[in-house]
Amino acid sequence: MDYFLDEQQKTIKDLARRIAEERILPVRAELDEKEEFPWDIVKDLADADMFRVFVPEEYEGLGGGCLELCLVVEELSRVCSGVAVTYAASALGCMTLMEYGTDEQKRKFLPDIASGKKLTAFAITEPTAGSDAGNIKTTAEKVEGGYLLNGTKQFITNGGEAEIYTVIALTDKTRGARGASAIIVEKDTPGFTFGKKEKKLGIRTSATRELVFKNCLVPEGNLLGKPGLGFIQAMRLFDRSRPGIGSQAVGLAQGALEAATDYARERVQFDQPIISMPVVQHMLADMAIQVEAARALVYAAAKYVDSGARNVTEESAMAKVFASDAAMKVTMDAVQICGGSGYMRDYPVEKMMRDAKILQIYEGTNQILRNAIAVNLRKRKARTA
């Protein structure tokens, strides 16, 4: 399908694909096996200006939007979803800064993020606050000279590797979620350490780690926007970042579809390539339909975000839910088509199937997002009633 991307979008997509095929493909199995953070690839992405894509031009970026980010994530994920999330998480970690930061704050942090010199991470999840994201306990007490952070963040993508962290913490713990604020914490700030590195089912090259704050003093100037708005900022952030997870799913599913198609053309049983068998053909056709439908919805949602629409909760949730469910189904079917070989680590599809599961879980479980979509349906009905 032709989505009529403009010249710059095509350039971004083509170069991302080239990096994925030339630099990531040869090492993806090793990165997965060893659970090593892909620093060499991060450098390649930085040298190719990929971290500039989502940063405004006045801060040394290329001024791309949600769609441009999605194109890069999709192409990286087609080859390795673990690398894709590492890249995408660095966009997530600076989106609150880009939306609510002052010019001074942006000038301080964004150029190094755009050049790829510094990775970022976003931290809201805690042991008590997953889907119930408002139930965070980490505090940021206002003291002389700044904010004093105490608490633990859990499952933070790019944790330990990123230099710049956007942390949601309670500046007023009496007010619960309404007392939350977004604060930038730099690595190596005294009192900021890292807990255990998680061992995961999939996306194993990406780093997932605990952040531990013990009397960590952060300058007052690191607060993003107004105090007390942190929870709302985070929810608004996810509304704008979810098409990115959708694109990660689209790329992953595309990769699985291609791998399964290649295998079905080569694998001969009963004297014929199995792609000649109607049962396999229909499975592949269903996979292709899912991938293309997911891509169309993700691109549409990304463009809607880029249009500046005020409320994109429903659309971005739909894109994330549909695409991630599709990726789970498509990768499972890819393993099925590849049969015994597909189950083996010598073939790429078992990794793709492991990588797919997280997409239904992070940045809002698909159940929580269905709730959000349903709430909007009810509201709309109530308004018209």
Partner 1 sequence: MNIVVCLKQVPGTTEVKIDPQTNTLIRQGIENIINPFDAYAIEEGVRLKEKDGGRVAVITMGPSQAEAALREAVSLGADEAILLSDRAFAGADTRATAYTLSRAVAKLEKCDLIICGRQTIDGDTGQVGPELAEMLDIPFVAYVSQIEEIRDGYLRLRRMVEEGHEVIETTLPAVITVAKEINVPRLPSLRGIMKSKSAVIPTWGIQELGVDESSVGLSGSSTQVIKVFFPQRVHQAEMLEGPLEKQVDTLIDRLKSAGLC
* Binding residues vs partner 1 (CB under 8 A): 7-8, 11-12, 15, 18-19, 22-23, 44, 47-50, 52-53, 62
d(CA 183, CA 384): 40
**What phi and psi, each to the nearest 5 degrees, are found at residue 150?**
-140, 135
Burial of 222 per CB tally in 10 Å (0-12, 13-18, 19+): buried
Looking at the Cβ atoms of 15 and 330, the one nearer to partner 1 is 15
Give the CA distances from residue 52 to residues 61, 62, 207, 257, 314, in Å, rounded to whole numbers and listed in that order.
4, 5, 22, 30, 28
Looking at the Cβ atoms of 19 and 305, the one nearer to partner 1 is 19
Q: Which tokens in the block code for residue 290?
A: 């899912």
**What phi and psi, each to the nearest 5 degrees, are found at residue 147?**
-120, 135
CB of 67 to partner 1, least distance (A): 15
Looking at the Cβ atoms of 57 and 220, the one nearer to partner 1 is 57
Give the CA distances from residue 212 to residues 160, 184, 240, in Å, rounded to whole numbers and listed in that order.
11, 14, 27
Looking at the Cβ atoms of 21 and 286, the one nearer to partner 1 is 21
Looking at the Cβ atoms of 8 and 102, the one nearer to partner 1 is 8
Residue 196 CB neighbour total at 10 angstroms: 12
CB of 26 to partner 1, least distance (A): 13
CB of 11 to partner 1, least distance (A): 5
Residue 289 CB neighbour total at 10 angstroms: 12
On whether the CB atoms of residues 247 and 87 are closer than 8 A, the answer is no
CB of 370 to partner 1, least distance (A): 37
Q: What is the DSSP letter of 140?
A: E
d(CA 372, CA 270): 49
d(CA 104, CA 87): 25
Catalytic entry in 75, 161, 315, 363: 363
Half-sphere exposure of 68 (CA within 13 A, CB side): 22
Looking at the Cβ atoms of 44 and 239, the one nearer to partner 1 is 44
CB of 86 to partner 1, least distance (A): 18
Residue type, 110: L
On whether the CB atoms of residues 183 and 170 are closer than 8 A, the answer is no
Q: Is 57 among the residues known to form the active site?
A: no
CB of 97 to partner 1, least distance (A): 21
Looking at the Cβ atoms of 61 and 151, the one nearer to partner 1 is 61
Q: Which tokens in the block code for residue 42?
A: 């991060």
**What phi and psi, each to the nearest 5 degrees, are found at residue 160?**
90, -30
On whether the CB atoms of residues 235 and 163 are closer than 8 A, the answer is no
Q: Which tokens in the block code for residue 134?
A: 């408002």
Which residues are marked as active site? 363
